[in-house]
């Protein structure tokens, strides 16, 4: 038996995927736990990734006519109470402010004082307070559609947290629109889901399945919830974005009414849609390997790191001059909507420099030493290749091909993720096989199980609940591209009208 290759991350994905994920977050220097339970500190490398995600999605939103705004962090409790199903869905996750100042107590400690007349809920989502603004902004059909997005933080008091995937406070965008007709609102709901899918696949290199949530998995208060689902390398699903058709439920609760062209009064039809920093967790779990994360070039915080090699003091000025000139030339090259991002790392720590950048996932590493300079060359390694696999390129050839190299990396990691998902997606019609598929192969490693099961479902919530209770498996979506063939429900055996993607999930 051959010697096992040493990896930068311990444990490996196969040994303990959950712990591997935590170690990758730490090793990549993207985020850390905060002193506040369940919250995270996003460090510069992780926040730069989020900035690029924001910029990419923001541009796509604006091309559909959406404009950005900002709404209060605090929501009066009475606003949430107007929509019964909505408040019931979020009640257990709400953080509530009841006082507005601190005073010194009898023992010199600080105690809350100044009780609020009405408690304020720290924003778990903003349908109700944005609906209040919309009710003031809309009076006529001429004021519609309203197409608004906000970039904000959200608080949902989670009991079990994991950095980027599920934290008590996280960053996201939430879009909110109001329309004069049901048809227009439904079309917007579908449009924004397509935006999320395109962004996930084109920018994050993360293949997704588009579909509709079952009624039990819908957003609280929504008429219909559409979603994109991606497969992580532990074969669990990650919901990467959702788009909700809210009908007139929130309009009636908030009083969003308008006068039609026929001079009648109607309630507006509304939508909401959101994606969050859990996309960063998706990038890690879709593309990471046992040496760290692999950044998709289109959202990577930087594209190239230059590693000057100086073994003799007298070589330093020549090596750094070449490095700085190469950096300037790279930064002048456009890559999609932006320019090539470059880091220069001249720390005197030997081979640890390269490993630091491998763990961070930067797409391209370039070593520059006196011998390379003499040949007007660079020595290049790619993050999608084995770390020992490096290529010598002439300087001009490297500059002329860098955008092609980055696109090739982007395509390679997308194709690898797609092949992984396809090889772990199985059509199952037999209940015993279905249960076996989701039973852990190793009782001591319960994370290792099946992947996506494509099976028929009768639409009965009792069947959906029994599968969830028995296997911790849920219906991730009813995929839009399902073939409408007849079949039997995987749970009860009765005639089924739906094809569903079943999976364990984050």
Q: What is the pLDDT of residues 474-500, one digit of tens each?
A: 999 999 998 766 799 999 999 998 999
* pLDDT (0 to 100) of residue 1: 41
CA distance 414 to 79: 43
Q: Are β-strands 237-247 and 269-276 bridged in parallel, bridged antiparallel, or unpaired? A: antiparallel
CA distance 471 to 218: 21
Number of helical (H) and strand (E) elements in the chain, helices listed first: 14, 27
* pLDDT (0 to 100) of residue 486: 78
Strand partners for 164: none
* pLDDT (0 to 100) of residue 5: 65
> In a 10 Å sphere around its CB, with 0-12 CB exposed, 13-18 middle and 19+ buried, how is residue 357 labelled?
buried
CA distance 122 to 82: 17
CA distance 328 to 494: 66
* Cβ(277)–Cβ(156) below 8 Å: no
Give the model's confidence band at 445: pLDDT under 50 very low, under 70 low, under 90 confident, else very high.
low
CA distance 8 to 172: 31
pLDDT, mean of residues 78-87: 82
pLDDT, mean of residues 347-375: 95
Q: Which residues contact 16 (CB under 8 A, 6 or more apart)?
A: 445, 447
User: Percent of the chain scored above 90 by pLDDT?
Assistant: 89
User: Percent of the chain scored above 70 by pLDDT?
Assistant: 97
Indicate whether 87 pLDDT > 50: yes
What does the DSSP assignment read for 127-176?
HHHHHHHHHHH-SBGGG--EEEEEEEEEE---SS-BTTTB-SEEEEEEEE
Strand partners for 427: 454
Neighbours of 217 (CB within 10 A): 17
The three-point CA angle 228-231-236 to 5° equals 110
CA distance 499 to 214: 11
CA distance 491 to 506: 23
Tell me, yes or no, if the pTM score tops 0.85: yes
pLDDT, mean of residues 308-319: 95
Of the candidates 227, 275, 223, 266, the one whose C-alpha atom is nearest the C-alpha of residue 245 is: 223
The three-point CA angle 365-367-372 to 5° equals 140
Q: Report the mean per-residue pLDDT for the chain.
A: 95
Indicate whether 442 pLDDT > 90: no
Phi and psi dihedrals of 217, rounded to 5? -100, 5
Query: What are the structure tokens assigned to 474, written together?
Result: 């849920």
CA distance 125 to 284: 26
Indicate whether 271 pLDDT > 80: yes
> In a 10 Å sphere around its CB, with 0-12 CB exposed, 13-18 middle and 19+ buried, how is residue 160 labelled?
exposed
CA distance 52 to 202: 13
Alpha carbon 21 to chain centroid, angstroms: 15
* Cβ(475)–Cβ(491) below 8 Å: no
Indicate whether 305 pLDDT > 50: yes
Q: Which domains does the chain have, with CATH numbers?
A: 17-287 (3.30.930.10), 304-406 (3.40.50.800), 425-503 (3.30.110.30)
pLDDT, mean of residues 441-452: 73
Alpha carbon 472 to chain centroid, angstroms: 22
CA distance 189 to 193: 7
What does the DSSP assignment read for 392-409?
EEEHHHHHHHHHHHHHHH
The torsion angle over the Cα atoms of residues 77, 78, 83 and 89, rounded to 10 degrees, is 20
């Amino acid at each position: 038996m051959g010697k096992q290759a040493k990896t930068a991350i311990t444990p490996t994905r196969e040994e303990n995927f959950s712990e591997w994920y935590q170690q990758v977050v730490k090793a990549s220097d993207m985020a850390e736990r905060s002193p506040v339970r369940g919250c995270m500190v996003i460090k510069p490398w992780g926040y730069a990734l989020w900035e690029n995600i924001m910029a990419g999605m923001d541009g796509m939103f604006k091309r559909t006519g959406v404009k950005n705004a900002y709404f209060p962090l605090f929501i009066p409790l009475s606003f949430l109470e107007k929509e019964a199903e909505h408040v019931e869905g979020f009640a257990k996750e709400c953080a509530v402010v009841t006082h507005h100042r601190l005073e010194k107590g009898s023992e010199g400690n600080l105690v809350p004082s100044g009780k609020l007349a009405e408690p304020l809920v720290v924003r778990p989502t903003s349908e109700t307070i944005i609906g209040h603004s919309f009710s003031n902004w809309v009076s006529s059909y001429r004021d519609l559609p309203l197409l608004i997005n906000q970039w904000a933080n959200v608080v949902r008091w989670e009991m079990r947290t994991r950095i980027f995937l599920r934290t008590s406070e996280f960053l996201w965008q939430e879009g909110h629109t109001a329309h004069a007709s049901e048809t227009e609102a439904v079309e917007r709901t579908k449009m924004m889901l397509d935006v999320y899918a395109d962004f996930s696949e084109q920018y994050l290199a993360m293949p997704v399945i588009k579909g509709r949530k079952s009624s039990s998995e819908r957003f609280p208060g929504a008429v219909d919830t559409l979603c994109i689902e991606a497969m992580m390398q532990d074969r669990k699903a990650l919901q990467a974005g959702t788009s909700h058709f809210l009908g007139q439920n929130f309009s009636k609760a908030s009083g969003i009414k308008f006068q039609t062209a026929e001079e009648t009064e109607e309630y507006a039809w509304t939508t909401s849609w959101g994606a969050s920093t859990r996309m960063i967790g998706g990038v890690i779990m879709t593309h990471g390997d046992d040496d760290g994360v692999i950044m998709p070039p289109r959202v990577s915080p930087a594209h190239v790191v230059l590693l000057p090699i100086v073994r003799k003091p007298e070589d330093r000025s020549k090596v750094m001059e070449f490095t700085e000139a190469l950096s300037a030339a790279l930064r002048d090259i456009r890559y999609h909507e932006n320019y090539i991002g470059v880091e220069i790392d001249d720390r005197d720590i030997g081979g640890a420099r390269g490993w630091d950048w491998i763990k961070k996932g930067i797409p391209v590493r370039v070593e520059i030493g006196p011998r390379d300079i003499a040949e007007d060359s660079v020595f290049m390694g790619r993050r999608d290749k084995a770390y020992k696999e490096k290529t010598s390129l002439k300087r001009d050839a490297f500059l002329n091909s860098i955008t092609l190299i980055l696109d090739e990396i982007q395509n390679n990691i997308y194709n690898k993720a797609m092949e992984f998902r396809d090889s772990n997606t199985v059509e199952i019609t037999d209940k015993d096989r279905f249960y076996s598929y989701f039973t852990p192969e190793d009782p001591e490693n319960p994370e290792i199980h099946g992947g996506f099961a494509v099976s028929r479902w009768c639409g009965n919530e009792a069947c959906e609940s029994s599968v969830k209770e028995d296997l911790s498996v849920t219906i991730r979506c009813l995929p839009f591209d399902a073939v409408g063939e007849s079949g039997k429900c995987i749970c009860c055996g009765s005639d089924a009208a739906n094809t569903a993607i079943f999976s364990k999930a984050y």
